Amino acid sequence: MLQTFPLCQQQNRIWIDLENPTEADIHQIGREQKLDPLYLQDVLQPDHLPKWEYNEEQDQYFLIARYADPEAKGTDDTIHTLTRKIAIFITKARILTIHRGHVPFLVELQGRATDPQGKYRKPFHLLCRVLKEVFRTYEDLVVKAGTELEFYEGKILQNKALPPFLKGLFKIRRRSSVVRKVLLLSKTLLDAIRDIDEADPMVQDTRDMYVRIETLSEDLYERSATLISMHLALADQRANQVMKVLTVFSAFFLPNTFIAGIYGMNFDNMPELHTTWGYFGALGLMATVSVGIYAWFKREGWL
């Protein structure tokens, strides 16, 4: 679906939005707007990563941004499953956006573009706002993952029996890692808007949103990594406690088993077999050994 929105009628500045295009639609708009065929190849690739290029001959910038897909339901958390692409062509008089699927924040911006009191009177301002909203889409994803992480943080030290949290924690860490990668790749888009007009206040406004989301994603990644390490450490600690108990029991019963084994051998030439108090003496020896082991463990701080 092709839509055109006027940004400033006096200067013939417009916004062209192409939603869910076919390959034929993309080639047609490319001919009409005289777009570089190499750029159109990038537009046709749904998995293309963020980038920007400048065509000096046409005085035109080409950008690719990726926003967090609110409808992503895949279990495989990757850049291509969690995000979608927006291709942007911008000149001084025209901005062209090409995307697949419904993009809520673009609909909102389209409403403002048609509003007489709208703020975006030139393509560059609209570009900054689009990139700002692209970065903002990651906020919901990061905040939701942060809420899940707080649940794990509250539970992991409360339960004596360690719950199976690793799967959830690894999912949060993987998502935060994806966001970090996308933001790192998207940082180049800030270079693009600075290259166009570094002095414009909207450049800093867009950068502030980027820094905010970057800070949140870094914090989420570090917290999830710390919690995973803590979970594994607690699991090791509790496993060590079990091994300690088993070792203590072994230390007590092994000498007694040895004594009983020797005493229970069926040989006629063993003096202990004909001793009146031999049975009780053996029990006393076992008790003495057990008390001695207990005193030794206590002195060494093992109990």
Domain boundaries, the chain: 2-236, 244-300
CA-to-CA distance for 104 and 209, rounded, in angstroms? 18
Residue 95: name the closest of 125, 53, 74 by CA. 125
| Strand, coil or helix: 104 | helix
Terminal C-alpha separation, the chain: 75
Pairing of strands 13-19, 94-99: parallel
pTM assigned to the model: 0.71
Strands, E, within 22-177: which ranges?
51-55, 60-68, 83-90, 94-99
Q: Please write the tens of the pLDDT for every residue from 90-145.
A: 888 888 888 888 888 888 887 776 665 556 678 888 888 889 889 998 888 888 88
Determine the pLDDT at residue 161: 52
Q: Is the dihedral of CA 115, 21, 135, 13 positive or negative?
A: negative
CA-to-CA distance for 185 and 195, rounded, in angstroms? 17
Q: What is the mean pLDDT of each run of 10 residues along the chain (303 residues)?
A: 70 81 86 84 86 85 87 70 88 86 83 64 84 88 81 66 66 82 88 84 88 87 78 71 74 74 64 68 78 76 64
Determine the pLDDT at residue 270: 62
Q: Is the dihedral of CA 40, 45, 46, 50 positive or negative?
A: negative
CA-to-CA distance for 233 and 227, rounded, in angstroms? 10
**Domain 244-300: CATH architecture, name and number where available:** Up-down Bundle (1.20)
Determine the pLDDT at residue 163: 56
Report the topology of domain 2-236: Beta Polymerase; domain 2 (3.30.460)
Task: Pinpoint the alpha helices (H) of 157-200.
Answer: 166-197
CA-to-CA distance for 230 and 260, rounded, in angstroms? 45
Describe the crossing of helices 278-300 and 201-263 by its angle, rounded to 10 degrees.
Answer: 160
Determine the pLDDT at residue 21: 85
Residues in the chain: 303
CA-to-CA distance for 164 and 176, rounded, in angstroms? 20
